[in-house]
Structure 1
Amino acid sequence: MPRKSLPALSRRMFLVASGIAAGALALPHSVLATEPEHTAISTLAFDGESLLAGGANLVRSDDGGQSWTELPAPGPILALATHPERPGLVLAGLASGGVALSEDGGRTWESRSDGLPEGEVDAVAVASRQPDMIYAAVQGDGLWKSENAGQSWSFAMDRPWLEETEHDLLTLASVDLATGMGGIWIYAGTEAGLTRVPDCFCRWQDVQPGNAMDALVSGDAPPSEAPLPAGEAVRALASAPSAPETLYSALPSGIWTSRDGGVVWSHLVDRPASAVAVHPSDAMQVVAVLDGTLQMSRDGGATWTALAAE
């Protein structure tokens, strides 16, 4: 069988791909490729030690990005999410609308869209402490949640009001921090920057120093000490499961990191970034799409290496 690569696509324009049918999709014969087509990657995620890259197609690497196996995509993929305590669980947000779920690392899929409104699902997340609690951001609508792995859905939150208008959620991350309700925050990236909401879903707010729940109740909102660039789109977010206060974000200005839950950010890479993922047990191992190329860092973003030759 000849080698295949992911076809090129943008976030809003995708090649025609077959939609997911009810029930599971069977795994066809694997296609082993030396590398994915990096410009086609919309989203990245670690499933244990393995790396998933999604776009018009879906590919998986089990050897650190040296070789790739093409998997059956449930449709053009905008977002992927996994959970460190449940290997094989993969959640996909689809450009054709809806959510698909795999329990075998992306080899077969089931639709989990009943109850979701129509529209592109730009972002998905799995709750950091509850693998059956999942979130989906529907373009033009808002944030939805499911407490039973997508068997049913309920509306959680309107889109955030930033810079005098509502903004769609481009990326989501469930972050396990002591200042959240029950320890959980939902961080979101938008075209206008970063915001977050505790899992009480009371209101979107800026990331603040100190006990942010006290600030939420009192209305006192001290500014972040070193925030992400104002008004810049946050294309991707990743919280390190082994160190939840460690965050990585992908922006047009590059890769940024925070070691304190998003209060202080440092600029790691000055190249346009569109996707980022962090290893579930090593907060220093990061993969990102930089200038359209797939890169890995094993030292928290200080140095980067291409995963395959261009």
Structure 2
Amino acid sequence: MAIGLSHGGTTIYSSPSRSNEVLVGTREGIAIIAREGSAWRVAHQALTDRHISAIIMESESGLTIAGAFHGSVHVSADGGRTWEPRGNGLTQTNVYSLASARVDGHARLYAGTEPAHLFVSDDLGLHWTEVPSLRSVPSVPKWSFPAPPHIGHVKHINFDPRNPTTIYASIEVGGLLKSTDAGQSWQEFPELYEDVHRLMIHPSNSRCLYAVTGRGLYVSPEGGTTWEQWTGREDEIGGYPDGFVFCPSDPKLIFMTAAQDAPGTWRTTHFAGARISRSRDGGRSWEILHNGLPDRLQASIEAFCLEESGNSSSIFAATTSGEVFCSEDLGKHWEKIISGLAPISKAGHYRNLIAA
């Protein structure tokens, strides 16, 4: 068994047994790290000329799909050892996010890009077609991004767990979009802060939405009708959250990563001040985790995932400095299991975290 650890791919896994390999998306391709007893090692590296943005596992076919910044989509049939390009029809190849859902018994893949376009494939990436309606919403002319070239992107894609034709697309920076008809039309949420990093959905109550934004965590108990801000820029857990995972068997147990401040400050401070926090009450209150984690990491945590298998759980966090931390006891203790990888980074975030 293997799982992926990437910025714009799958973040929550329910597996029949604990995975002994993790495919890490880095600035220099995919590093496959393998568990050997109580230690980990780099077992293989692939796609080393690509900056990997997203990794997903398609369970029925057994394929692994990877997206790359300025590098299209690639597919592996052997657990990540060898890869073939599958970008036919992708008119935008700067891929930021990937997601898959089972629709009418088959796998449907989605790819989000910069500029912010959405593409869909019903044949495991052999052919892609654009979902043009994404760019028909009124806010499109305002979509942008603070850093050059100031172009917005589809940072995250998610689906209603009860209805995979209900899709959420997080536009950075542009807002949250929702489609209830497989992408034929889209609804906006103008009352929500527009810098949406990811939209997470309560696994047993799909009307309960968690929007992770550049200004903190927003929660809607009624499917987006109203939103409440539960964390903010001044909170000790960090004012710029990104990674967010539920424990599948206990959705009140949530883990979230956050930098101390927005990436614009990193250009001068070269310091992210990243932390991992845990909530036991569905996000109402948070505790900062230590015990093996340095307090306020200089690096940013840019990939974060949780795997639950039976009675065991593993949480992985990867940083712009090429380190991977792991907790096997739901955040009580952490261990640095790998260092020396190429940066794990959304686009160029890592550049501002190299000391001058």
Q: TM-score, normalised by structure 2?
A: 0.57
> Aligned pair 1:171/2:198, yes or no?
yes
Structure 2 match to 1:77? 95
Structure 1 match to 2:45? 34
Unaligned runs of 5+ in 2: 1-24, 30-43, 144-152, 260-273, 343-356
Percent of aligned pairs sharing the same letter: 20
Q: Give the partner amino acid of 1:275.
A: A
In 2, distance between residues paired with 1:292 and 1:59?
Answer: 25
> Aligned pair 1:54/2:70, yes or no?
no
Deviation at 1:134, TM superposition (A): 0.4
Structure 1 match to 2:242? 235
Structure 1 match to 2:276? 255
**Contact preservation (8 Å) 1:248, 1:256:** yes
Secondary structure in 2 matching 1:184:
coil
**Contact preservation (8 Å) 2:189, 2:224:** yes
**Contact preservation (8 Å) 2:172, 2:194:** no
Structure 2 matches for 1:1-310, cutoff 5 A?
Answer: 34-35=45-46, 40-48=51-59, 52-56=65-69, 57=71, 58-59=73-74, 67=81, 69-73=83-87, 74=90, 75-83=93-101, 88-116=107-135, 117=137, 118=140, 119=143, 120-150=153-183, 152-158=184-190, 160=192, 166-177=193-204, 183-207=206-230, 229=236, 232-252=239-259, 253-263=274-284, 264-267=286-289, 269-270=293-294, 271=297, 272-279=300-307, 284-293=313-322, 295=324, 297=326, 299=328, 300=330, 302-306=334-338
Deviation at 1:50, TM superposition (A): 6.7
In 1, distance between residues paired with 2:236 and 2:161?
Answer: 27
Deviation at 1:157, TM superposition (A): 0.9
Secondary structure in 2 matching 1:176:
coil
Cα displacement string for residues 134-177 of structure 1 (whole angstroms, at most 9, x for unaligned residues): 01123454221112222x122231152xxxxx441012212225
In 1, distance between residues paired with 2:278 and 2:106?
Answer: 26
**Contact preservation (8 Å) 2:237, 2:276:** no
CA RMSD of aligned residues (A): 4.1
Unaligned runs of 5+ in 1: 10-32, 161-165, 208-222
In 1, distance between residues paired with 2:303 and 2:49?
Answer: 11
**Contact preservation (8 Å) 1:285, 1:296:** no
Q: TM-score, normalised by structure 1?
A: 0.63
Q: Give the partner amino acid of 2:67.
A: G
Deviation at 1:281, TM superposition (A): 5.5
Cα displacement string for residues 172-219 of structure 1 (whole angstroms, at most 9, x for unaligned residues): 212225xxxx54322121222111223432222134xxxxxxxxxxxx
Over 3 Å counting, the alpha-carbon distance change for 1:187 and 1:137 in structure 2 is same
Cα displacement string for residues 104-126 of structure 1 (whole angstroms, at most 9, x for unaligned residues): 55454332232534443233211
Structure 2 match to 1:216? none
**Contact preservation (8 Å) 2:116, 2:154:** yes
Paired residues, number: 255
In 2, distance between residues paired with 1:63 and 1:115?
Answer: 34
Over 3 Å counting, the alpha-carbon distance change for 1:60 and 1:122 in structure 2 is same
Over 3 Å counting, the alpha-carbon distance change for 1:110 and 1:127 in structure 2 is same
Secondary structure in 2 matching 1:114:
helix
Cα displacement string for residues 212-270 of structure 1 (whole angstroms, at most 9, x for unaligned residues): xxxxxxxxxxx99xx96366211232334454334333323143343442233442644
**Contact preservation (8 Å) 1:172, 1:237:** no
Deviation at 1:96, TM superposition (A): 1.8
Pick which of 235-244 and 127-136 moved more: 235-244
Q: Give the partner amino acid of 1:194.
A: L
Over 3 Å counting, the alpha-carbon distance change for 1:198 and 1:155 in structure 2 is same
